[in-house]
Amino acid sequence: MKIADVVLVEVEGEFEVEKPVNEERIAQPLDIYPEFGELGAGAPPRPGQKVPHKDVYLEVRTEEGVTGVFGPVDGPHAMILRSEMREFVVGRDPLAIEKLWDMLLRRNRHGRGGYYMMALSALDCALWDLKGKALGQPVYRLLGGPVQDPVPAYASMLGFSLEPEKLAARAREYKSKGYQAQKWFFRYGPGDGGEGAGRNVQMVSVVREAVGEDAALMFDAFNSWDVPYAVEIGRRIARFRPAWLEEPVPVDRTNALRTIRERTGIPIATGEHLYTRWQVRDLLEARCADVIQADPDWCGGISELVKIAAVCSAYDVPLCPHGHSLHAALHVAAACPRTVLPQVEFLVLHQKRKQRFMKGYLEPQVGAIRPPEAPGLGIEVDPEKVSARREIE
Ligand SMILES: [Mg+2]
């Protein structure tokens, strides 16, 4: 087979809000500056409201007529796909994914992370979709699965209000849907003083009280804390037995992560902002993480996530891929033993928007999820949901 073109397709339509999205924002690194600490201007969209929505999908077209699709793809690395990678891959064999991946890494000496690696990730995922379609198999079968069927998913509660009564009601609601684990996001950080710290602790206490002793609870600080703050909050929430504390500080601060881990006794999860097997290996060598969260949309694609799973397995540290999107991580998860990859992340509010233009809706049933059976990844844009479509130059 030969690649004929690499095309970015922008699709446009409306997104009808079913549930409140972004009732509350999360703590963010910029919040140490007071001008960034407040909720952004404008009220969040209400249920029933229709808001305009656009997404970009990557298509790898072949001379044989098979097309690999992946998306939605974010803006900056979408442009790298078009400007840096398209010309190089046109005319080459799309089924030789490992060779293309290695050549694209070698030809850009700044490409070991960041937007270049995110672009390579999207291309890699589209090539796996293409390969699945060419061979008539879902990607998880090409990767050696099914190994676990279905795959446990945890409810990732980004965007919900943290007002105690609503918080408790949502935590109970998602537990009753069958989720064995939930992740909540801290709203406050070091810029918010003692009152913010108290509210962070209160959030953990309310959720634990709502779901009972047996459910697993995880908490994410989105890189927004520092060591003293993380140690203080960690010590105050330890009695609620968090399954992990996620990204209290950026992932490259391995000494800080180790200090937080040792002083709080809470397992540390991180790695959604790591790229490639080599960065994951270094993090594991630093003995500061208990859960690795590499994301196939960013870390180097499906090819690289499979290698990262092997590296994590060699260190006996579980891989729980970050849920920027779902399809790619799910196919890898379905092809890994549960001891290697115990669960995937399902963003209960944001997946509706991420899958807005796709045929069907991929979601967990009773806290576990199966990858699509269609050849490839099972990502198909539904023309019925699209009001306008254009190829980006
Ligand atoms: Mg996170």
Q: What is the pTM of this model?
A: 0.96
Q: How far is CA 286 from the centre of its chain?
A: 23
Closest CA to 253 of 214, 215, 217, 225: 225
How far does residue 221's CA lie from ligand 1's centre (Å)? 7
Query: Considering 136, 164, 185, which residue would you say is the last residue of a domain?
Result: 136
Compute the CA torsion angle 44, 18, 201, 243 (nearest 10 deg).
-140
What is the distance in A from the centroid of ligand 1 to the CA of 257? 15
Residue with tokens 């960013």, as numbered in its chain: 298
Which two tokens mark 5? 């073109």
Relative to beta strand 216-220, strand 368-369 is unpaired
Closest Cα partner for 295 from 268, 330, 249?
Answer: 330
Check if 350 is active-site: no
DSSP 336: S
How far apart are the CA of 222 and the centre of ligand 1, in A?
Answer: 6
CA 223 to ligand 1 centroid distance, Å: 8
Can you give the pLDDT of all 393 residues of the chain as single tens digits? 999 999 999 999 998 887 766 788 889 999 888 887 665 545 667 788 888 999 999 999 999 999 999 999 988 888 899 889 999 999 999 999 999 999 999 999 999 999 999 999 999 999 999 999 999 999 999 999 999 999 999 999 999 999 999 999 999 999 999 999 999 999 999 999 999 999 999 999 999 999 999 999 999 999 999 999 999 999 999 999 999 999 999 999 999 999 999 999 999 999 999 999 999 999 999 999 999 999 999 999 999 999 999 999 999 999 999 999 899 999 999 999 999 999 999 999 999 999 999 999 999 999 999 999 999 999 999 999 999 999 998
Beta-carbon neighbours within 5 Å of ion ligand 1: 220
Residue 213, φ and ψ in degrees, nearest 5: -75, -25
On whether residue 267 sits in a domain, the answer given is yes
Q: Which residues pair with 244 in a beta bridge?
A: 218
* CA 158 to centroid of ligand 1, rounded, Å: 9
- Residue 306 alpha carbon to ligand 1 centre in Å: 20
For residue 383, tell me if it sits in a domain: no
Residues 184 and 68 in one domain: no
356 domain residue, yes or no: yes
d(C-alpha 373, C-alpha 376), whole Å: 8
CATH of the domain at 334: 3.20.20.120
Q: Are strands 3-16 and 388-392 parallel, antiparallel or unpaired?
A: antiparallel
Does one domain contain both 76 and 161?
no
- E strands present in 213-260: 216-220, 244-246
Q: Shortest CA distance to 98 belongs to which of 128, 138, 141, 134?
A: 128
CA of 292 to the centre of ligand 1 (A): 11
371: preceding bond cis by omega (within 30 degrees): no
Q: Give bridge partners of residue 219 from the DSSP assignment.
A: 184, 245
392, 78 Cβ separation under 8 angstroms? yes
In this structure, is residue 386 part of a structural domain?
Answer: no
DSSP, res 10: E
DSSP assignment string, 162-210:
--HHHHHHHHHHHHHTT-SEEEEE----GGGHHHHHHHHHHHHHHHHHH
Residue 340 to residue 319: CA distance in whole angstroms: 6
CA 382 / ligand 1 centre spacing (Å): 29
Six-digit token string for 321? 């891929």
Assess contact for 17 and 43: CB atoms under 8 A.
no
Answer yes or no: do 171 and 123 share one domain. Answer: no
**Domain count of the fold of the chain:** 2
Ramachandran assignment for 193, one of left (phi > 0), alpha (psi -120 to 50 degrees), beta (any other)? left
* Full domain range(s) for residue 110: 3-136
Q: Three-state SS string across 292-317, please?
A: ECCCCCCCCHHHHHHHHHHHHHHCCC
The token duo for 177 is 């849907």
Separation of CA 321 and ligand 1 centre (Å): 10
Cβ pair 76, 57 in contact under 8 A: no
- State whether 162 and 309 are in the same domain: yes
- Given the residues 322, 324, 327, 331, the one annotated as active site: 322
Within this chain, do residues 195 and 128 fall inside the same structural domain, yes or no? no
Instruction: Tell whether 300 and 342 lie within a shared domain.
Output: yes
Domain end call among 116, 136, 156: 136
Q: Positive or negative, the Cα torsion across 221, 119, 274, 171?
A: positive
Q: How far is the centre of ligand 1, averaged over its atoms, from the C-alpha of 162 (Å)?
A: 17
Examine residue 390 and state whether it is found in any structural domain, yes or no. Answer: no
